[in-house]
Structure 1
Amino acid sequence: STIGQIENGRNKSTAKIVELAEALQTSVEYLLHGKEEASPPAITNVFDNNVNLALKHILHRIPVISWVQAGCWRGIEHYRDDDLEYIEITTDIKDGFGLRVQGDSMMPEFAQGDIIVVAPHAQPENGSYVVVVQDDKATFKKLVYDGAKPYFKPLNPQYPMLESNENTRIAGVVKQKIKLY
């Protein structure tokens, strides 16, 4: 139905057209104008070149599957499938997912409502921002080492550093932040 709506002009979603062009391995210009060397789309008349450049670097769409507490260990609550939101990311992570930040322990860099893009298979390093799970509770922190022992540090100095134990695992490394206005 989406393709039909785009064909008859009822749906002019740039995101959908970009997705279609990617899936069909052609250009947006070809889909919009029927030829490769078409004039630039109308978006160039509205926005400057910086916005157009950003649109060209959207790589993938990922689901925002839940939220993560930035502050303390907290139970994980996932969104229902019919409530899933998808976001476009500029990081090359095909199997990633998004989480909404809750709390203020990662301020000033990460505010409540920001979306973090998590790569579940990325190798964490000292200084990486990570989503950590311990005893079925999760939090979002900066990974720091004291010798060989990992700790999870909030950016807000009002919160304590968290220790790891045998039930602690890193669920993924944060690769991108998306701030919605």
Structure 2
Amino acid sequence: MKTTDKKPGKKRPLTEVEAAECAALNAIYKAKKKALGISQEKIAMEGLKANSQSAASHYLTGRNALNIEAAAVFARYLQVPVSDFSERLAAEIKGISSSSDSNVRDAQQPTKSFRYPVISWVAAGAWAEAVEPYPAGFSDSYEFSEYDSKGTAFWLKVKGDSMTAPAGQSITEGTLILVDTEAEVAPGKLVVAKLPDSNEATFKKLVSDGGRLFLKPLNPSYPIEAVDENCRIVGVVVQALQKFY
């Protein structure tokens, strides 16, 4: 008996809603990929656990309809809720998560977080000379934070013990500090500044005394430095993060 191979079935075309979801996701991806330092290949390999960049591309271009699992992965990498590109899937995720009689649980939608580069003290000191906020090669390391910065922000790893205090507020060496370059500068806040006699940034507490501003270390063994017209405040420290690995 003669046999013939069966041709694979034709792929189902996307509905109007599914196509709109993919288009919305693609628009978010294009708008955020550079700032987040992500690519289709990274999302596919790390998030979708696929061996090809096309796995992500098929969702972004509307070749494949989005499902709950893929939507959750894209939401995590793009740092947006699923509802930003699919109200339908966001409702499904909510329904699964809130079902009291189901033992099936899908991944929770991510808490909104933001990805900031970890840079060097020299780079921080030269911040004003940067042509663009995050030029190519600016950083090869990133950390997440729930803090939504007012301006361009970055992480610095604390060097030395000038901000290590014997009591009270203390920032130890190795701590990551998040610097917001547009946060309000005021006495009492921890700041990163650029002094005229150094090519690196310095981390101190901004204080006021007799109508003048000073940079005060939390460690009393170090001297207080006056803030003059040649001292530039790079940004305000809004978060400290200690990592034990």
Q: TM-score, normalised by structure 2?
A: 0.54
Amino acid at match of 2:118: V
* Equivalent in the alignment of 2:152: 95
Whole-angstrom distance in 2 between the partners of 1:174 and 1:113? 15
* Equivalent in the alignment of 2:141: 85
User: Shift of the alpha carbon at 1:166?
Assistant: 2.4
User: Shift of the alpha carbon at 1:148?
Assistant: 1.9
User: Shift of the alpha carbon at 1:113?
Assistant: 1.0
Amino acid at match of 1:81: G
Name structure 1 gaps, 5 residues minimum.
44-51, 69-74
Task: Name the CA shift for 1:130/1:16 in 2 (closer, same or farther; >3 Å).
Answer: farther
Identity of matched residues, %: 34
Amino acid at match of 1:84: D
String of CA shifts for 1:101-155, please: whole Å, max 9, x gaps. 0000101421111111111111211100000111244210000011221101111
* Equivalent in the alignment of 1:71: none
Whole-angstrom distance in 2 between the partners of 1:103 and 1:15? 39
Pairing partner for 2:192 from 131, 155, 161: 131
Amino acid at match of 2:48: E
Whole-angstrom distance in 1 between the partners of 2:145 and 2:203? 19
Superposed CA RMSD in Å reads 3.7
String of CA shifts for 1:61-111, please: whole Å, max 9, x gaps. 11111137xxxxxx77xxx82752111012111521111100001014211
Amino acid at match of 1:2: K
* Equivalent in the alignment of 1:176: 239
* Equivalent in the alignment of 2:77: 19
- Does the alignment pair 1:117 with 2:178? yes
Contact 2:43 2:77 (8 Å CA) reproduced: no
Bigger-Rg structure (1/2): 2
Contact 2:119 2:138 (8 Å CA) reproduced: no
Q: How many residues align?
A: 161
- Does the alignment pair 1:7 with 2:48? yes
SS of 2:119's partner is: strand
Which has the higher relative contact order, 1 or 2, with Cα contacts under 8 A spaced 6 or more apart? 1
Whole-angstrom distance in 1 between the partners of 2:144 and 2:222? 32
